[in-house]
Amino acid sequence: MDISEQHRKELEKLASETRWNVNHRYIKSDLEELTKVEVAGDGRALLCLSEAAWRCPHGEPFGRAMLCTCPLRNYIAKHFGR
């Protein structure tokens, strides 16, 4: 995926401020290695579909699902629809 320089800078900034080293893999792979999410609540929430969600510091239990509160992952979903 082609990422503009402006988006790349914002992603790098968010990655440097976000705990969890997997975030850098998202950027290095040009967003090809993303954790799968489902957009919920009219686009205001992400449900993480990764098996690792229960170990992620950015996962919040929500029934049988995990809400994704990762700033980087939320930025990607909002700006790239992924």
pLDDT in tens, 2-56: 788 898 899 889 888 887 767 677 777 878 878 888 888 777 889 998 888 888 8
Domain that holds residue 63: 5-80
Count of domains for the chain: 1
- Please name the residue that has the structure tokens 């290095």: 28
Q: According to the model, what pLDDT value does residue 58 have? A: 87
- Please name the residue that has the structure tokens 């995990």: 66
How remote is the C-alpha of 6 from its chain's centroid? Answer: 18
pLDDT grade for 67, boundaries at 50, 70 and 90: very high
Q: According to the model, what pLDDT value does residue 21 have? A: 64
Judged on CB neighbours under 10 Å (0-12, 13-18, 19+), 63 is: exposed
Q: According to the model, what pLDDT value does residue 43 have? A: 75
* pTM metric for this prediction: 0.79
